[in-house]
Every structure is written in structure tokens, then in C-alpha cells.
Homo-oligomer: A and B are copies of this chain.
Amino acid sequence: MLKKQLIMEKALELFSEQGFEATSVQQITERCGISKGAFYLSFKTKDELLFSMVDYYLQQFIADIDHVVRNSNNKDIMLVDFYKNIFQAFKKHAASSRVFFNEKVFLTNKELFHKVSAYEADMSKSIVQMLEQLYREELQETKYDVMYCVKGFMKSYAELFIFSDLPLDLDQLAQSLAEKTDIIARHTTIPFITEELAQLVARPCDQEITQESLLQLIDQSIQNLEPSIERESLELLKNQVEQTTYSQAIIKGLIENIRLQPGCQWVVYVLDKYFQF
């Protein structure tokens, strides 16, 4: 399915330059060097392209964040790591950030709005998880508030990457925001966001990972890979989902094999959760 990826990448460029509505299918196919008909072999409609792109790009972003939160053992630098990764992602994916954090379509198309909201809820959950790891029960009353502050810092400082390409010291930025987050976490006494409120806003409840949905996701991801070690790893993992025979170590190793594979971040994220790493 390399054609699909090509289309999504070129479409991202164009959407980032002109927006979704203002970009025609013709323009996309011209930039891809393919015909209009070929486009409709990959995607049924222009809307379906956008849906696929949301999955393709937001999954990468969310999975990235989650990985940092889960794999940072050193609490002293967890926050710094978190912010450094976030802004590295913003820097690297400035184009997709522009599109997915600013496109109006996401507010007007209900289905799409839910999709994006669900990913945002995943991100919020990761942040709360990180805060719980860092501060344990000290933060019981205010953790959702602190999460909102973290998201606010992200949104505000991300503008530096999205709207300009100034050379910025990522390390200092990460340290600065880590300090701010720590200060807020330690000193806040008047919470506003209760757990209930946080859940009301993030309504789109994350759907459970079922064996069936995971197998479907793996099949889909396999199609994105050329025959290779990575593809073989994913096929072995598929068997493990159907019937676990290998040890945790082997399974973890197989997941690591595909962690950096483009288009596979999401399946890695879901596999991590499924096998409880």
C-alpha cells in the first residue's frame, strides 16, 4: 500500500499550505504524478483520505508520547524527556501539526471530530499517567488540572515551531517547561478540573482493545510493510495474539523490532498495551 502513503504525504503538504477544502483532488494527484483515477483506487472519496490521514499522523504522535511516558524510568528527567519529545515531534511534523491542530473540518464533521477527540483523550490519559507516576497520591486532587496546564504549555509553546522556524534550544525549553510543570504540581491548591469534568469533556470513551480488533489492525499494518525482518516480526506477533506461546522477552523483542517502522507506531502502541508492557 505504498501508493496510499505517497498520496497521504503529498496531500499533507498541500493541506498544510492551503487547507483541506481549498485543495482539489486534481492538485494532489498532480503532485503525486498519478492520474485522478488512480487516486480513487486508493481512497473511495476525498473525505476517506482525510480520515486515513488523521489515523496515520495522529497515531504516530500519540504513540510517541505514550512511549516516553511508559519507558522513562528516571523520574528526575521524565518531565524533561516528555517535553523534549513533544517538541521534537512538533518540529519534525510541523506540517501535520499545522493541519491537525488547526483544520476547521475537524470541528464541523462530527465523525472526524470524534476521531480527533478520541486521540486527544488518549494523550490526556498518558499525561495523567505520567503525573501519577511522578507524584503518586500527593496530586490526587489536582492532577487533572495539572494535565490541563501541561496541555496549555504544549499548545502555547508549539506556536514557536508551527508558525516560525527560528532555531530554538530544545533542551532549555524542555527544562523550562518541566520546571513550570513541577512548580504547578507542587503548589496548586485551588483545583478546577475534577475527574468527572475531565471525563465529561473527553466523552469519546476509548474503545477497548479486543483480540479481534487487534488482529485486524495487525493485518492492516502488515500490508504497509515490504517483506523484511519487521514484517516477519509482525506476523509472529499476530500468531502470539491468537495463541501466546513465546515468553514475554521474545514478544517484547518482536515489538521493539517494529517500533521505529514508519506507519507502525500505532500498532506498537496497542501491542504494548495488549501485552501489558
Contact = CB atoms under 8 A, between A and B. Distances in A.
A41 interface: no
Contact of A102 (B107, B188, B189, B191): B107
B149 A180 contact: yes
Contacts of A152: 149, 152-157
Interface stretch (A17-25, A210-218, A225-233, A244-252): A17-25
A179 to B, nearest CB: 5
Nearest to A159: B201
Contacts of A17: 108
A183 interface: yes
Interface stretch (A55-63, A130-138, A168-176, A260-268): A168-176
Contact of A104 (B20, B157, B172): B20
A172 to B, nearest CB: 6
A160 B18 contact: no
Nearest to A18: B108
A111 to B, nearest CB: 15
Most buried by B among A102, A151, A156, A160: A156
Q: How many copies does the complex hold?
A: 2
A99 to B, nearest CB: 8
Classify chain A's interface size.
35 or more
Nearest to A103: B104
A224 to B, nearest CB: 28
Given A104-B104, A145-B176, A176-B191, 9 more contacts: A19-B107, A21-B21, A98-B107, A102-B104, A102-B107, A151-B156, A176-B190, A180-B184, A184-B184
27 contacts: A18-B108, A19-B107, A22-B108, A98-B107, A102-B103, A145-B176, A148-B156, A148-B157, A149-B153, A149-B180, A152-B152, A152-B153, A152-B154, A155-B155, A157-B192, A160-B201, A163-B201, A164-B200, A166-B197, A166-B200, A166-B201, A172-B192, A176-B190, A179-B189, A180-B188, A183-B184, A184-B184
